[in-house]
Amino acid sequence: MTKDLQTRFNNGDVIEFDKPTIVLASASPRRSRLLDSTGIEYVKILSGLDDSEFNYDFPHENVTHKQTRKYAEAMAIAKLEPFKNRIVNGAVVTADSTVFCRGRILEKPHSIEHCREQHELISGKTNYAYNAIAVYYNGKITSKVLRVRLRIKPLPEHIIDEICNEPEILDCAGYRHQGAIGPYCSFKTKNSASIIAGLNVPVVEKLLKRVGY
């Protein structure tokens, strides 16, 4: 069914559901797994939007925490744009994750070399992960930004090599807390794992209620 919906959406159709339905607008396998683990029913429809076309309109160097928070929220809301007036009786959920380290915003690495450079930067430092979640339902939009503070112990070179060859690593903004980096992460925030993975389900449920779903 989801495949048929994706084809129709790609063709420009308006998608109208017979009953209220959650639409996950994210290609992230981690976000899908988080929803799957809760038993929440949803369909997945991707917008085809290339967020790299607009994310660098924001500064990525010499930024503050406030700017990083604003950036993550703006990105999550912008991802809703293709679904406005195209989804009826469906609550569209989008998210954006970014990492703040020493005045820099770290996005998804575009290559293994870029991934290595980012992990060399966060090694031995306190970093902050910002996860923004946005929901669109019947013309209403709401959003929430969560923050995780964590300390990354110094990463040996061979560990960085291992991290850079892990599955899905190029789909992770700044870092991932699983795999080889796990033992080097010290979290300072409750529910940090789901925030870093990019979709805190209790927050999604609260946002859905806020828009009347």
Provide the CATH number for the domain around residue 23: 3.90.950.10
Spatial distance between the Cα atoms of 4 and 109, rounded to a whole number of angstroms: 31
Q: The tokens of 137 are what?
A: 């339902």
**Is pTM, for the whole model, over 0.85?**
yes
**66-80, 123-137, 186-200: lowest mean pLDDT where?**
186-200
Spatial distance between the Cα atoms of 33 and 71, rounded to a whole number of angstroms: 25
User: What's the domain count of the chain?
Assistant: 1
Rounded mean pLDDT, 117-125: 94
**Full domain range(s) for residue 51:** 2-210
Tell me the CA distances in angstroms from 180 to 119, 164, 167, 169, 184, one per residue in order: 12, 10, 11, 11, 8
Spatial distance between the Cα atoms of 45 and 134, rounded to a whole number of angstroms: 15
User: How confident is the model over 57-91, as pLDDT tens digits?
Assistant: 778 899 999 999 999 999 999 999 999 999 999 99
- 191 pLDDT band, cuts 50/70/90, is low
Q: Angle at which helices 29-38 and 201-210 pack, to 10 degrees?
A: 80
